[in-house]
Structure 1
Amino acid sequence: MENTSGPPPQAPTPIDPWIVRLPKRIVLVILGPIYFLLISFAPALCARRKGFRGWYWRTVKRSCSRLLWLLSIKADMTDAEKDMLAQDTNSIIVINHRSHLDGFTLMDTIPDEKWFTFAAKKELFDAKLLRTGFLGAGLVEIDRKSGKVAMETLSASVGDMPARRSVVLFPEGTRTKTESLGPFKAGAVLVARETGRSIRPIVIHDSDRLLPRGRFLPLSGTIRVEVLTSFHCDPEVSVDEDVERLRNAMIAAFDKA
């Protein structure tokens, strides 16, 4: 059983003094909603234009970087790890899920040379406006009501992707409440086996210290994003054994920090 209790985590070290953080927060409150609407509605107007997808993802990445800067949050990834991702091909990216900051942090740190997309639940595609944007941006539509259909859709989408592009999956499925990583779902391993791709594990450290459950505004501090070596499924063992082996590799990196 996972340990869900323990001593309270040490408060993160702010990267900016309060006299700098305050005006940043004011700018975010004033301009943030306008910027968010522009990013959200741009696909509805431009999704069918040639080259939209590349332009849009770069714009979203820059937006995430600006958001973290305004929140006085630094996302840290080593140059060697960025080079590893820039050269990464024919993979599926899996990351642990600690807080609502995880997606923004990942977007900020992944180099432009690495193409990627996310899987999104089918319900988000039901609204015509969102559907146009999501499909134009290359998000993968997943029907979570049927596990079999979801896996078939995901495998087909990954199989059609160029080797340079990876889909990002959260194997825990939701933000974990445990001190370490939560149980993993088998989706990433199943898709990797089906498509012949490797898995690129990425471990996020300390995002829950900056934005724990129940907190609206995050604290200032640093989030470490650690890129691990490629994980290759073993066809000689069961899916559950591969899932556990992947989880153990990510736990070893997470717990040593």
Structure 2
Amino acid sequence: MENSLRVLTELLLTIPGEGLVQAKNLVMVIGDKYVTEEAAAMIGNLLALLDQADGKRSGIFPVAVKNNSLGLNYMGVQNTAAVLSEAKALLLFGEDPSTDLSRYDFLMVQDTHLTQAAERADVVLPALAFPEVNGTFVNTEGRLLKVKKAVENPLEFSNIEMVQAIADILSADLGSACPKKIRKAIEKDHPAFREVEAGELLMHFAAEQPGLALTPYVDGRLFTELPCTDYLMNTIQNELDKVIKS
């Protein structure tokens, strides 16, 4: 507790403290790729002490490593580690995790490139990249935004249609591939998406509201890089780094 108070005091002194205290709508934007959970909790404590931890225009806005991570959370896609620990087969869509995949009896990979996971897979399927699809995603602010296709689809099937074909083989019904019908299905099971048009905030969305209980800083790291499992995004980032360094 004493260490946490000391660190928070140092933050107020080193970052223009007067500006933090006087800010009407203070927002802390943090990157999930580098900021640890412990550091995020400390930032939350700081905002709580400044009475800036509640509201749509104040609080903590974590920038997720993967696009639409917030949208998936709102749809209840959580605790995936526990689910995977019991699985005997794995279907990977656009992911190249740096983990041992040999324990699965069956591995299928759908991706835009021949990744390391694809090289170990029993079945490999092509996938469309983000410039080749239409759709929506939820940004860090909690706002529903559109994705517009920039280039033509080189395949006969869309990503969702390929998933449906797999489901048919497994005798599972995923419903319609029509975007409007998919949207209605989402709204039915997830109230946050109801009556929300593109460009609007999800219903009941608010910044995280950390409590006033300070978490002591012991031996943990404040910043560490979380590896990204998206092969295409890693490739793009590597090329951007080359341009920046040159």
Q: TM-score, normalised by structure 1?
A: 0.26
Q: TM-score, normalised by structure 2?
A: 0.27
Structure with more helix by fraction = 1
Larger radius of gyration between Structure 1 and Structure 2: 2
